[in-house]
Amino acid sequence: MIIINQPRNISGANGSFEFKWNPNFSSIRAERLNQAQMYVDSEAIRLMVPYTPMDNGPLAESVKIGTVIGSGKLQYKSPYARYQYYGEVYGPNIPIFESGISEPVAFFSPRGQKKFPTGRQLKYNTSKHPKAGKMWFERMKADHKRDIAKGAAKIAGGISK
């Protein structure tokens, strides 16, 4: 932590200057920075939705459950979020077939068996979220980081370019 002491008053032949230190500066600045972090977290979650893979919604919703807004850490509470995010199929995946259907209807992994990367890339359904795909936070950030930074700077009391 850096401690900044109040500057001394200046007097000279050309006049004097008195510094008035705001005793609430530290708490005001801390609150503004906290509000700015809450904004960044909320905006990132909101803006990631179109980039997040979606079939029926639990993945996109799980970040709202797993994140403490203002912590600066977005966390998905979904068992398959990691696989979806990095875009690689993990296995072993044992197919489940229904009678009369030649393609598997689902897959399962034996309980207790650790999954490993297979080297195969996931195929994303983009019918509900056209921008859906792997690394959705990074792609959202590339598209919106200036907007998020500008809003955060405004809340924090800074100047944004």
Domain ranges of the chain: 25-86+123-161, 88-121
Q: How far apart are the first and last CA of the chain?
A: 28
List per-residue pLDDT tens for the chain, 161 residues long: 667 676 777 787 888 878 777 778 778 888 999 999 999 999 999 999 999 999 888 999 999 999 999 999 999 999 889 989 999 988 888 888 888 888 888 777 888 888 888 888 999 999 999 999 999 999 999 999 999 999 999 999 865 55
Q: Are 48 and 137 in contact (CB under 8 A)?
A: yes
Q: What is the pLDDT of residues 95-136, one digit of tens each?
A: 888 888 888 887 778 888 888 888 889 999 999 999 999 999
